[in-house]
């Protein structure tokens, strides 16, 4: 096993991507120090304690993004730190609530990196950013536009369209790159698109709830840049294990319109009452060559929604 004898840290371990990351790390033999906000909350820890290898190689820590030094004990002795913890909301209409979203994302990222800078054992930090920190700016985009790692979202533009989550991820990544450069931290960043696939946690997160709303016809975006949650977790591990990994990696396996997604779901589940909508704007393309060069093999799109639907059914979120 590639991770045998190695100790790593995963922040926000109860989350959608992080839960899969912990699972894959344990399968590879890593010892994982995982942080959650509340060790007494079953929704935060039960699904982690059910993973294979937890008795010997999973250690849970309580940590708060807004507390300086909160991650010191979890980071201590680790070779890699995977920072996935960040609040996620799309609809924030109260400007004061945006502070509750942006501060934990930015200050929390800096607090984790400060802990890493104080720990000589840390060889690399892998940060979970997002495609929303890449593609949202004033640049014109159309079906033939190809977004790559050189693109950066404009936080002022994101503020103007009141996309507070986009602001938080953009500012957090900017702060991470600046701190890493100033403090000699080897930083690798992943920028996943809309994450789908089976859920391990017992509660809905932002993307799984958005996918559920899509199925029920409760809105959604004109087009989506999709990636399977297992591919995202795998990319994080590759970002640590590959010595030549550097910079940003856009994690998008498929770009589909909302109508195309619903058509595929209808074929997969003929008896499901899937809403029918007119064909939408195909949006823009995303270059995933760097991720493929890293070793990421993207899951065919048809696999991911099927696995997600089955897990939503299993957890009684979808009848």
Helix (H, G, I), strand (E, B) or coil at 24: helix
Question: Does residue 232 surpass a pLDDT of 70?
Answer: yes
pTM: 0.95
- Predicted local confidence at residue 92, as pLDDT: 47
Residue 1 inside a domain? The answer is: no
Residue 235 inside a domain? The answer is: yes
Best CA proximity match to 57, nearest among 31, 25, 81, 24: 31
pLDDT above 90 as % of the chain:
81
Go through the chain and tell me how many residues it has: 319
Number of domains in the chain: 1
- Predicted local confidence at residue 234, as pLDDT: 98
- pLDDT band at 1, cuts 50/70/90? low
- Predicted local confidence at residue 223, as pLDDT: 82
- CATH number of the domain that 206 lies in? 3.40.50.720
The highest-confidence range among 76-80, 103-107, 138-142, 253-257, by mean pLDDT, is 76-80
Question: Does residue 173 surpass a pLDDT of 60?
Answer: yes
Q: Which element (helix H / strand E) includes 38?
A: none
List C-alpha distances in Å: 250 to 32, 125, 129, 225.
25, 17, 10, 10
Residue 207 inside a domain? The answer is: yes
Residue 319 inside a domain? The answer is: no
Q: Please give the residue that has the higher pLDDT: either 98 or 149.
A: 149
20-42: pLDDT as tens digits: 999 999 999 999 999 999 999 99
User: Which domain does 226 fall in, by range?
Assistant: 7-314
Question: Does residue 96 surpass a pLDDT of 60?
Answer: no
Question: Does residue 288 surpass a pLDDT of 70?
Answer: yes
Residue 2 inside a domain? The answer is: no
- pLDDT band at 280, cuts 50/70/90? confident
Cα–Cα distance between 106 and 113 in angstroms, integer? 11
Residue 254's DSSP bridge partners are 226
């Amino acid at each position: 096993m590639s991770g045998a004898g190695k100790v790593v840290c995963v922040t926000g371990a109860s989350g959608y991507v992080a839960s899969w990351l912990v699972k894959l790390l344990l399968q590879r033999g890593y010892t994982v120090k995982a942080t959650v906000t509340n060790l007494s909350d079953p929704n935060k820890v039960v699904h982690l304690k059910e993973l294979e290898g937890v008795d010997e190689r999973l250690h849970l820590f309580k940590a708060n993004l807004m507390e300086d030094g909160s991650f010191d004990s979890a980071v201590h002795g680790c070779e890699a730190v995977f920072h996935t913890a960040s609040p996620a909301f799309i609809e924030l209409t109260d400007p004061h609530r945006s502070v509750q979203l942006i501060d934990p994302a930015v200050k929390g990222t800096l607090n984790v990196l400060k802990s890493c800078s104080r720990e000589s054992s840390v060889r690399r930090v892998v940060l979970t950013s997002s495609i929303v920190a890449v593609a949202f700016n004033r640049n014109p985009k159309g079906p033939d536009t190809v977004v790559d790692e050189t693109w950066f979202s404009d936080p002022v533009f994101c503020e103007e369209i009141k996309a507070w989550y986009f602001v938080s991820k953009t500012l957090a990544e900017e702060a991470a790159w600046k701190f890493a450069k100033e403090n000699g931290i080897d930083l690798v960043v992943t920028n996943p698109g809309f994450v789908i696939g089976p859920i391990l946690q017992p509660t809905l997160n932002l993307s799984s709830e958005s996918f559920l709303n899509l199925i029920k016809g409760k809105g959604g975006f004109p087009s989506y840049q999709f990636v399977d949650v297992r591919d995202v977790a795998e990319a994080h591990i590759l970002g640590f294990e590959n010595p030549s990994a550097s910079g940003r990696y856009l994690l998008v396996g498929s770009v589909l319109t909302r109508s195309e997604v619903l058509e595929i779901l209808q074929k997969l589940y003929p008896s499901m009452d899937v809403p029918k909508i007119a064909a939408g704007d195909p949006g823009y393309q995303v270059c995933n060559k760097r991720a493929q060069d890293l070793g990421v093999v993207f899951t065919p799109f048809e696999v991911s929604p099927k696995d997600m639907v089955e897990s939503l059914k299993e957890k009684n979120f979808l009848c």
